[in-house]
Structure 1
Amino acid sequence: MNTGLTQIVNGNVITPHEIVFNAAVLIKDGRIEEICRDNKTIEQAMIIDARGQYLSPGFIDIHVHGGAGHDFMDAELEGFHEISRLHARHGTTAMVPTSLTSEKDQLIGLLKVYEAAVQSHSDGAAFLGLHLEGPYFAMNQRGAQDPRYIRDPDPVEYEEILEHAHLIARWSAAPERKGALDFGRRLRDKGVLAAMAHTDAVYEEVLAAVEAGYTLSTHLYSGMSGVSRKNAFRFAGVIESSLLLDEIDVEIIADGVHLPAPLLKLIYKIKGPEKIALITDAMRGAGMPEGESILGHKNDGLKVIIEDDVAKLPDRSSFAGSVATADRLVRNMVKMADVPLLEAVNMMSRTPARIMGCQNKKGAILKGMDADLVLFDRDIQVSFTMVKGKIVHGAA
């Protein structure tokens, strides 16, 4: 008889504030029904034996471009699904698909494919809304973003795109660009998270941006200003401002390449796990062998090279996105930055859920939350992934 009950037993359950060893989690109709600290088996439930592994809330990646040979900019329905399946195998249970700089019509086309993907999605990580990364960036901080499309915010353009605001979770821009503060206020009005990215702003401009609604720093240290000098005077950049201001959350690419261990430790020490979201920033090369690849649309994107566990521009002058998966981020924070496992998991689940406004449903193992769960060993090797009570990787 199908009771709608599933129970995961013999697990080390990672809750928001502690790890409960040798415990069980009861799931009913896709939600967490109970944390059984005594590990008592419910006879009516389908039993899954965790065999002493860690049972974690599902990982939430709020900045990801692709994987498994696909990029969201390809705007292909099957590509969306393949990317979500690839990352689900590595513990991601929810993600925010991310664009690159492009023309308006391309972004609108991407939004339409995203909507179709949400309606048809069933066997990988869930989608939480699109992240539009650009095209309103500082040319000097473009990194691997295509310079052909970089421009100032245009109300005529972004208002047309914001007609699809119910599909857009966040939008990253350089707040010092002409019209960017009005743009940030408009995003706030529409319920879209405004983030600072690929920016040359100084502290005073960041303060104005925060007042206009920019509350997230996109891939901290990557594509943003640090301390600069003008007429012999020093000015704090976006890096220092993001570390200093409590109003700003930060996301970091903890792939072990973009940021070395000392910077991971510094960010953790200053901001703390409640203000840090780990992101993959993964491009189509995630889960693929080393060699040539493309960042962006497969027909006219930028050629890149995957080597040293990262994507690079062909001249090796800049990174061009990571090829990481979420399990690698957690592993690196534990092993490279000496962060306790509980806090590393929170930075990959609870904090990104809060940033994206879905903390009442996702990001923690608590009664009533979505049963988005990951099982991994002490080396953070994922063996099992569940989304809303449905197994999408591994076996019962």
Structure 2
Amino acid sequence: MKKIKIVNGQVITPYRIVKNATVLIKDKKIEAISEGDIEVAGYEVIDVKGNYVSPGFIDIHIHGGGGHDFMDGTGEAYLKIAEIHAKYGTTAMAPTTLTCSKEDLLTAIALYKSATVKNTRGAQFIGMHLEGPYFALNQSGAQDPRYIRNPDVEEYKEIIAYGQDVIKRWSVAPELPGAVEMGKYLKANGIIAAIAHTDAIYEEVAEAVENGYNLATHLYSAMSGVTRRNTYRYAGVIESAYLIDSMDVEIIADGIHLPPPLLKLVYKIKGPDRIALITDAMRAAGMPEGESILGNKETGLKVIVENGVAIMADRSSFAGSVATTDRLVRTMVQMADIPLVEAVRMMSKTPATIMGIEATKGSLTVGKDADVLIFDENINIKTTMINGEVVYTSAEFSN
């Protein structure tokens, strides 16, 4: 039974920072948190020397990193992506697919199942996020248009049956024929129905929300805003997400997909308890800039990574991101002027709540999993701990 005592830390709770605090970890769980010292014997002591002690970051929308993509068709890709992102503070993630064939989706699910039991050194897998293929062609963005199609009842029921207890979320354009019925089916099967790559107007979003959809996938990206049809204006998905209080939203907070004024606007209207920060990272995350591939390394789309973002080769749109979770928190604090406590909450507690795992993850609370980060004032990760095990320590911190 491993026992760890973290001392001299600035401990970030969901609502405040406890200075000069101690955290006790026992048997993979948070045992105690207290200001000042806690006198105990037999614990390995980690002196964080005034650095921040934070809950692990939870990324609910991620495609790849370190030169790998979840669509590569290999178990190694799953493990390597989990390992590379752990170095940047991600302790839990939802591997995300891209628009593809049914056969490729089933393969991705099978690989998730086998990789999960082998994943001991990287961010934990908390369920799969299927992004597509049921999207509006006009809002395809970086999704391969060859595979975009309307919801197919027999197809999605077969996929869900195969991925039972594995698929936790599915992103769909709600205005498509059959999408409302699909939302009902997803909800009945305990799967989060999310709105994405869509031209829906408010009336269609409202109906979707009434039938199971409760999350906006990468708000602002590949979705409708105010539109005009002949004489009349209609509110789009963006405005709907603001108007419908019960809707959660996720944002790619790299400062590029959404510039600081929009990050501030989303925060001002939705608040930290309705916003999950996501990387939407593709294989080039954690890699040098240059040419890369979105999706399967053999059949995916060619992209260019420059100036901290991935774009399509024809420069028509972004192509996922190369962000890591530490960068998201850093951007919210330094560029959007969001308090550190709330930026961390949007990267931990809120995504845990959205995914339904808040009972065990998302905050430094007694009894929860010991997913713990140590980082400095610039959100540079010094140590990543998953279930009480150190999986990464920076060279300068270990010395």
Equivalent residue number for residue 124 of structure 1: 122
- Describe the SS at the equivalent of 2:98: coil
Aligned counterpart for 2:155 among listed residues 157, 164, 168: 157
- Describe the SS at the equivalent of 2:130: strand
CA drift of 1:44 comes to: 1.4
Q: Which amino acid aligns with 1:135?
A: P
Equivalent residue number for residue 197 of structure 1: 196
1:28-82 CA distance string (max 9 Å, x none):
0000000021223423101011110000000000000000000000121111111
Equivalent residue number for residue 88 of structure 2: 90
Partners of 1:287 and 1:92 in 2: CA distance = 13
**Structure 1 residue 259 corresponds to structure 2 residue 258:** yes
Equivalent residue number for residue 146 of structure 1: 144
Equivalent residue number for residue 104 of structure 2: 106
Equivalent residue number for residue 228 of structure 2: 229
Partners of 1:263 and 1:4 in 2: CA distance = 44
Equivalent residue number for residue 289 of structure 2: 290
Equivalent residue number for residue 16 of structure 2: 18
> How well do the aligned residues superpose, as a CA RMSD in angstroms?
0.9
Q: Which amino acid aligns with 1:332?
A: T
Q: Which amino acid aligns with 1:38?
A: G
- Normalising by the residue count of structure 2, what TM-score does the alignment of the two structures yield? 0.98
Equivalent residue number for residue 39 of structure 1: 37
Q: Which amino acid aligns with 1:235?
A: Y
- Normalising by the residue count of structure 1, what TM-score does the alignment of the two structures yield? 0.98
- Describe the SS at the equivalent of 1:73: coil
Equivalent residue number for residue 52 of structure 1: 50
- Describe the SS at the equivalent of 2:106: helix
CA drift of 1:315 comes to: 1.2
Partners of 1:304 and 1:137 in 2: CA distance = 21
**Does the Cα contact within 8 Å between 1:165 and 1:192 map onto a contact in 2?**
no
**Does the Cα contact within 8 Å between 1:7 and 1:41 map onto a contact in 2?**
no
Range that drifts further, 346-355 or 157-166:
157-166
Equivalent residue number for residue 63 of structure 1: 61
Equivalent residue number for residue 209 of structure 2: 210
- Describe the SS at the equivalent of 1:181: helix
Partners of 1:206 and 1:17 in 2: CA distance = 32
Partners of 1:197 and 1:390 in 2: CA distance = 36
Equivalent residue number for residue 268 of structure 1: 267
1:120-146 CA distance string (max 9 Å, x none):
110110000110000000001110000
Give structure 1 stretches of 5+ with no counterpart.
none
CA drift of 1:165 comes to: 2.5
1:202-231 CA distance string (max 9 Å, x none):
000000000110000000000000000112
Equivalent residue number for residue 299 of structure 2: 300
**Equivalence map 1:292-331=2 (5 Å):** 292-331=291-330
Q: Which amino acid aligns with 2:323?
A: A
Q: Which amino acid aligns with 1:323?
A: V
Please list every run of at least 4 consecutive aligned residues from structure 1 whose deviation after the TM superposition is greater than 6 angstroms.
none
**Equivalence map 1:171-182=2 (5 Å):** 171-182=170-181
Aligned counterpart for 2:70 among listed residues 60, 69, 72: 72
**Does the Cα contact within 8 Å between 1:58 and 1:363 map onto a contact in 2?**
yes
**Does the Cα contact within 8 Å between 1:70 and 1:83 map onto a contact in 2?**
yes
CA drift of 1:4 comes to: 2.5
